[in-house]
Amino acid sequence: MAVNGVYKPDMNRVPTGEFFLPSRRTNGFGVQAEDTKICVIMVGLPARGKSLIAQKVVRYLHWLSIKAKIFNVGQYRRTATPNPTAEFFDTSNSEGEKLRMAAAEAAVSDMCRYFANGEGLIAILDATNSTKARRRWVQERCRSEGIETLYVESKCDEESTIMSNILEVKTTSPDYVGQDPEVAAQDFRNRIRNYEKVYQTIDEDESDMTYVKLIDVGQRVIINQIQDYLQSRVVYYLMNLHIRPRSIWLSRHGESKYNLEGKIGGDADISDRGELYAKALPGLVKKSVGDNRKLTVWTSTLKRTIQTARFLEFEKLEWKALDELDSGVCDGLTYAEIEERYPDDFKQRDEDKYNYRYLGGESYRDVVIRLEPIIMELERSENILIVTHQAILRCIYAYFMNVPQERSPWMEVPLHTLIKLTPKAYSTQEERLKADIPAVSTFREKGSSAKHQ
């Protein structure tokens, strides 16, 4: 993996072998806790960030180990009508109307099956659901299946937000694959106009329903009839979201003296090569961020991240929550020493790295819990650069890239590399910028004791 002393990253690499799956919610005797089934129903005109929101909610829930799935009505519709024009969405077009209803039917049926099979706790119905009649229909379908409903309306009249969404959709939406962007944008505007003719916002008539209405990107929020904790948790997350374009940059600290010695944890200074990275970082950031963009730098409270970020001329915040995973009694040891002194622990950690908790320290699961404020703040903020540690970065990266929890602790996160993540409606884009400064590898493969290079 190291070529000429330069470490080559492979963050998406997945180790093979059996993974310990998260514990099931039974007690082993068939006693099953009552679980709520919630259908989150998106409501709103096109280009209001519905798909982006749906995708984020699913990622967030996965990150919390709650199974969730999106049912995108558009995808069902596309199987019959792959590249429809705006006329298709005209309500006076009875053929289009019929096909769209059939797509909604198919999506809702699949969703009911998903719940019936116990595949998850939350489903997200991603469609415009722009009329009261359509919402009532979904409501009735869910009620007959014992599924709770939570309507999420994104209402936004801010021209600039809508425009940036249109720009994005015309380039990324499957409906406009291979089309001239200008033509696509015009068609998309016409499509929105057709929806506007029939659009009914959620109002007093629907006060019996559970809903949250996000007005102008969370400036105002109306929340009605929340029924349980899980719904409130989703609403809490939604309130922190915005749909303006932004990016997040992630970097590990520069190589530390402990890295050189192969020790984990501690609060060591950065090495000479780490110092080089710290000096190179402002240029790297400038190249990736561009000029005139407001950026805030977050570091942990440990020396190696603060030292790494110290040449960056942006506002900086230190977060205790970004400190490295606490390795308890193993703090300051090398992997070889851990294997020697705590052989059972070493083995157990390999078996279930996500849940394994160092003696007197933390597990990845613990870290995810303490990162909750960080994730919420990240969602609320715009452009953020985070300089932090390997385990923490894995967790944050896993959140944005939807990496399953049994895999995230095994991802390689190279030193001296700047990662840029840009959330888009259908996925998160990733770019990497490598500073050409050699560093040791701190990656330990499953089952090895990682003699550090």
Partner 1 sequence: MDTLLTAEVAANSPRFRRRSSTFVDAIHDLPEKEEMAPAQLYSTESGRLFHSGRIVIVTVGLPARGKTHISVAVARYLRWLGVKTHVFHLGDYRRATLGPGKDVPDDYFFVNASPSSVLLRNKILKKCREDIYNFLEHENGQVAIYDAVNAIAAGRRSLAREFAKHGIQTLFIESQCNNERIIEENVRSVKISSPDYIGWSEADAVKDYLTRIASRIPHFETMEEMELHWIKLINAGERVLVNKCAFGYLSQRIVFYLLNLHIKSRRTYFARAGTTTTEDSYKADASLSPEGEDYAQKMGETLIQHREAERQALIDRGGPNDALKSLTIWTSTRRRTIETSHYLASKGYRVRQRSQMSQMNPGVCERLSEKRIREKYPEEVAKHEQDPYHHRYPRAESYHDLAVRLEPIILELERENNDLLIIAHESVLRVLYGYLMACNAQDIPKLDFPRNEIIEIIPASYNNSAKRIHIPDLPEQLIPGSPEDISIPVPPSNMPSGTQSGAISPFTGIGTPKMQGTPRLTPMHTPTPSIHVAPNVALDSLGITNTAPLPVGAGATATSVPSDLVERVSERVERPAKGPGGGPGTAYSGGGPPGHEAGTPPPQPLRIMETNVDPNS
Residues that bind partner 1 (CB under 8 A): 25-29, 31-34, 207, 218-226, 228-230, 232-233, 235-236, 239-240, 242, 301, 317, 319-321, 323, 357, 359, 369-370, 373, 376-377, 380
259 is in an annotated binding site: yes
Distance CA 166, CA 212 (A): 24
The residue among 321, 359, 343 whose CA lies nearest residue 449 is 343
Least Å distance between CB 157 and partner 1? 15
Q: Alpha carbon 102 to chain centroid distance?
A: 31
Catalytic (active-site) positions: 253, 340
The residue among 126, 155, 142, 161 whose CA lies nearest residue 56 is 126
Q: Alpha carbon 16 to chain centroid distance?
A: 24
Least Å distance between CB 106 and partner 1? 33
CA distances from 61 to 54, 56, 243 (A): 11, 9, 18
Least Å distance between CB 31 and partner 1? 5
257 is in an annotated binding site: yes
> Residue 106 forms beta bridges with which residues?
none
244 is in an annotated binding site: no
- Of 319 and 443, nearer to partner 1 (C-beta) is 319
Distance CA 168, CA 70 (A): 20
- Of 116 and 359, nearer to partner 1 (C-beta) is 359
Least Å distance between CB 241 and partner 1? 9
76 is in an annotated binding site: no
- Of 233 and 424, nearer to partner 1 (C-beta) is 233
342 is in an annotated binding site: no
The residue among 244, 229, 76 whose CA lies nearest residue 150 is 229
Backbone angles phi, psi at 242, to 5 degrees: -135, 165
153 is in an annotated binding site: no
Task: Give CB contacts under 8 A, 24+ apart, made by 229-237.
Answer: 230/36, 230/38, 230/66, 230/121, 230/122, 231/38, 231/148, 231/150, 234/38, 234/40, 234/57, 234/61, 234/122, 234/150, 235/150, 237/56, 237/57, 237/60, 237/376, 237/379
- Of 85 and 301, nearer to partner 1 (C-beta) is 301
Give first-to-last CA distance, the chain, whole Å.
Answer: 10
Cβ neighbours, 10 Å, residue 73: 21
Least Å distance between CB 195 and partner 1? 26
Least Å distance between CB 37 and partner 1? 15
Distance CA 99, CA 81 (A): 8
- Of 75 and 240, nearer to partner 1 (C-beta) is 240
258 is in an annotated binding site: yes
Backbone angles phi, psi at 132, to 5 degrees: -60, -35
- Of 107 and 338, nearer to partner 1 (C-beta) is 338
254 is in an annotated binding site: yes
Please state the residue numbers annotated as binding site for substrate: 252-259, 304
